[in-house]
Amino acid sequence: MKTIKVIKIGGNIIDNEEALAEFIKDFATISGPKVLVHGGGKIATKLAEQMNIPVKMHEGRRITDAATLDIITMVYAGKINKNIVAQLQAHHCNAIGFSGADGNTIVSEKRPIKTIDYGFVGDVKKVNTDALEVLLNNNITPVFCAISHDENGQLLNTNADTIASELAIGLSTVFNTELYYCFEKNGVLEDVENEDSVIENINIESYKTLKENNIIFEGMLPKLDNCFHAINKNVQKVCIGKSEMLFHTNNKHTTITK
Amino acid sequence: MKTIKVIKIGGNIIDNEEALAEFIKDFATISGPKVLVHGGGKIATKLAEQMNIPVKMHEGRRITDAATLDIITMVYAGKINKNIVAQLQAHHCNAIGFSGADGNTIVSEKRPIKTIDYGFVGDVKKVNTDALEVLLNNNITPVFCAISHDENGQLLNTNADTIASELAIGLSTVFNTELYYCFEKNGVLEDVENEDSVIENINIESYKTLKENNIIFEGMLPKLDNCFHAINKNVQKVCIGKSEMLFHTNNKHTTITK
């Protein structure tokens, strides 16, 4: 079985033109099959402001009405995705941009309305890797934005961390799959103020203890839940840290194990 | 050799939600390999207005500065392309959206500045069909927006009719290729006011005469030049008319021959 790397990058890279250019240059050098997943960063929020479309949030989550979905589709699948693809091509990495609608790769369902209506937000239901396998076997690199679809013609805004973990799980049936979450910190930190306090290994047991002791809290919880979801569903390796962890073997980061 | 249909649709379909839904439903039923190419319609102009970005034109052609290229990328490759792909999936047509950067399919060069600087506008230099062949042979339908790239990381706004003819020419080395330009009229008209006056066949000789007699003029000239370019470069069949010509054999339209 070949090894594939599924790599997710977030706002700290997307929102910084130089950091993105640097990352893309390095990403292009990774040998073997690979998939890139990118979040949206702050560009969608900026565009919404420019268009006088109010950004609605609920407990830190964006509510996606029709106008916001349009903005997200334009920014994530259009501007960000196509510019990443063009830059990868410049570094001789043959990339093709994807939303979950393309190749019917990521099928989700609109989140049911309970106390709050999140609008056009999708929870992943199914991943189809057929089209991806064909491309990966032909040395082509899929680049995913965080949009899925419901198979009835509706695009849906979907969490980029979830897209990455679900793709990794889907691909793990045909590849030995490694999942990398790149963000602005060196990994999960024992002390959030101290970049050197990286917890290098977390397993299901220690995760429980870290949560009980409030060392891991808030924003890190959904990220780690995605990691353990992937590890429990056949993904071989999950790492969290700065993107440097991919290119420098001695770069400290957090590895998630069962 | 298998036969492939390359079908280009323009503003009269893109700008009309119902017409687009109807077209997509019909397009999904076309058997055999096929490629869809879509223009941008008026949505990009509307977005530019909303964002207070002035639309600059020269002799009916849009001048593409950096802000305009961003808008075009967002609207063509994002909003329009992904919604078409999602709707095709709803009709069980397995589509993947493309710009010319994706799969390095359409390489162009920035138009040189002569008397006028058109900005980020690309003239097609090379078409690579490798990625497309892989997908087409796996029953996947590429859907192209009218954006190319220069292989140095720069996206470029490119005429959709040209994208369609260049793709058809590129694919004609491996497929028996038919190119269809769908627009708002029944074809090339003898009398522009009379929809029944379709000229059903035009060849290089009669094209010359029609131009000399001012029956074909202005906007139709670049469209027909694209047609003859394709016919002269190995494309088997080129047709111009309403999209109905694809689905109803008795629908009058113009066929271009050598």
CATH code of the domain containing A40: 3.40.1160.10
DSSP B157-184: E--HHHHHHHHHHHHTTTSEEEEEEE-S
Task: Map residue A182 onto helix, strand or coil.
Answer: strand
> Which pLDDT score is estimated for B218?
82
B84 in any annotated domain: yes
DSSP string, A139-169: T-EEEE-SEEE-SSS-EEE--HHHHHHHHHH
Give the A:B interface size as CB pairs under 8 Å.
Answer: 134
pLDDT tens-digit series, residues A106-127: 999 999 998 889 999 999 999 9
Q: A2-19: per-residue pLDDT in tens?
A: 999 999 999 999 999 999
Is pLDDT at A258 greater than 90 in this prediction? no
- Residue A199: closest CA among A249, A246, A257, A160: A257
Q: Which residue has the tokens 């402001």?
A: A49
- A207 or A58, which is more confident? A207
Q: Which residue, among B51, B83, B96, B108, would best test binding to A if mutated, counting the most A CBs under 10 Å from its CB?
A: B96
Number of separate domains in chain B: 1
**Using N-to-C axis directions, what is the helix angle for A160-171 and A220-232, rounded to 10°?**
10
Q: What is the pLDDT of residue B179?
A: 98
Residue B208 domain-assigned? no
Residue A62 pLDDT class (50, 70, 90 cuts)? confident
- State the 10-residue block means of pLDDT for chain B, 258 residues long: 96 96 98 95 90 85 92 97 98 98 98 92 97 97 98 97 98 98 95 94 95 88 94 97 94 94
Q: Is B50 on the interface with A (CB under 8 A)?
A: yes
**Interface membership of B120 toward A (CB under 8 Å):** no
With a pLDDT cut of 90, the percent of chain A lying above it is 87
pLDDT at A55: 85
Residue B123 lies in a domain: yes
* pLDDT of res. B58: 82
Q: Tell me whether residues B101 and A89 touch, CB distance under 8 A.
A: yes
In this predicted structure, what is the pLDDT of residue B67?
95
Contact with chain A for residue B85, Cβ under 8 A: yes
Task: Write out the two tokens for B143.
Answer: 């859907």
- Which residues does B12 contact at the CB level (< 8 Å), separation at least 6? B19, B183, B184
Per-residue pLDDT, A148: 98
- How buried is residue B30: exposed, middle or buried, by Cβ count under 10 Å (0-12/13-18/19+)? middle
**For residue A94, which of A141, A145, A135 has the smallest C-alpha distance?**
A141
Angle between helices B17-29 and B81-90 (to 10 degrees): 50
**Position B212 in a domain:** no
Please, which residues 139-168 of chain A have a Cβ atom closer than 8 Å to chain B?
140, 147, 149, 151-155
Selected residue with higher pLDDT from B70 and A60: B70
pLDDT confidence band for A182 (50 / 70 / 90): very high
Q: Which residue of A has its CA nearest to B90?
A: A152
In a domain, B40, yes or no: yes
Which residues from chain B sit within 8 angstroms of residue A51, using beta carbons? 50-51
Q: Which domain holds residue B100?
A: 3-184+228-250
At A206, which helix (H) or strand (E)?
Answer: helix A204-212
**Average pLDDT for chain A:** 95
Q: Which residue has the higher pLDDT, A132 or B222?
A: A132
Q: Which residues of A are annotated as a binding site for substrate?
A: 40-41, 62, 157
Q: pLDDT per residue over B213-247, tens digit each?
A: 999 888 889 999 999 999 999 999 999 999 999 99
Name the pLDDT band for A41 (thresholds 50, 70, 90).
confident
